[in-house]
């Protein structure tokens, strides 16, 4: 498969996922518009559901931004190039994560650095 065919295939996947996420977000936002009427003795199940849905909306919105960025990089002609080292991102990685912006080596290094710089929590007994 040529590079152009591969990119065209990934673009189709990205557009399909974008439409699906957009639809899910629409349903979640519609649900969030519904008024919550919770009696104190009824428990917080509705409030919990709304908080859970709110967190899910944030995750899906971030995913949409990542997909939009990938689609823009296709249009600019730099899709599949690592933003950190400039090397080509492995096709296998892009097939699994079409919005990847870094090659696997750079991604692992960034994650390793992030873990190393994260403060360790002390467990208090």
Structure confidence at residue 40 (pLDDT) = 54
Q: Which residue has the higher pLDDT, 45 or 44?
A: 45
> What is the tens place of the pLDDT at every residue in 55-90?
999 999 999 999 999 999 999 999 999 999 999 999
Structure confidence at residue 51 (pLDDT) = 86
* Cα–Cα distance for residue pair 66/102, rounded to 1 Å: 12
Closest CA to 110 of 101, 119, 123: 101
Closest CA to 28 of 3, 64, 1, 4: 64
> In CATH, what class is 3-117?
mainly alpha
Average pLDDT for residues 30-41, to the nearest whole number?
68
* Cα–Cα distance for residue pair 40/42, rounded to 1 Å: 6
Report residue 48's pLDDT band, with 50, 70 and 90 as the boundaries. confident
Domain segments of the chain as ranges = 3-117
């Amino acid at each position: 498969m040529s590079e152009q065919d591969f990119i065209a295939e990934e673009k189709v996947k990205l557009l399909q996922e974008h439409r699906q996420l957009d639809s899910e977000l629409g349903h979640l936002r519609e649900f969030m518009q519904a008024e919550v009427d919770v009696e104190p003795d009824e428990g917080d199940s509705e409030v919990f559901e709304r908080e859970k849905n709110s967190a899910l909306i944030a995750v899906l919105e971030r995913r949409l931004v990542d997909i939009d960025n990938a689609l823009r990089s296709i249009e600019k002609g730099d899709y599949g190039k690592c933003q950190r080292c400039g090397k080509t991102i492995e096709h296998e990685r892009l097939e699994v994560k079409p919005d990847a912006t870094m090659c696997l080596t750079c991604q692992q290094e960034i994650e390793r650095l992030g873990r190393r710089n994260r403060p360790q929590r002390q467990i208090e007994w």
